[in-house]
Homo-oligomer: A and B are copies of this chain.
Amino acid sequence: MDTCAETLVHPDAVAAARRVVDDAPVDALAETFKVLGDPTRARILLALSVRELCVCDLADLLSVSQSAVSHQLRLLRAHRLVRFRREGKLVYYSLDDDHVRTLFAEGLRHVKEG
């Protein structure tokens, strides 16, 4: 790690920032964003924000193979972003968390203010 000099330019500022960065669960946070950061998964979540949907309807509406959807749903499940319930042969998925709606709303705001 080749720092600019032997001593920092702004030791106090760096110390304060380091405290904030080290205290926050950055890795978990980044991983959550990474999950949201894929077009297919984002579409899935956006669709589920309208209402719960079964896997095959999701696949159709996203024009993605059922297998691909299923793989992504598995990931979303692992991150507690969606829940599911079985009804006969169908499996219905829905958002597990209202934070997702808030995150999307805020993200859209950033995107739109070009």
Asked if A99 is at the interface (CB within 8 A of a chain B CB), the reply is: yes
B contact residues around A24 at 8 Å (CB): 46, 108
The range of chain A's interface size is: 35 or more
The distance from the CB of A24 to the nearest CB of chain B, in whole angstroms, is: 6
| Contact A43 B21, beta carbon cutoff 8 Å | yes
B contact residues around A51 at 8 Å (CB): 13, 16-17
Contact flag A90-B32 (CB < 8 Å), given A1-B65, A16-B51, A17-B47? no
Contact flag A110-B99 (CB < 8 Å), given A1-B65, A49-B20, A56-B3? yes
Enumerate A81-111 residues with CB–CB distance to B below 8 Å: 90, 97, 99-100, 102-104, 106-111
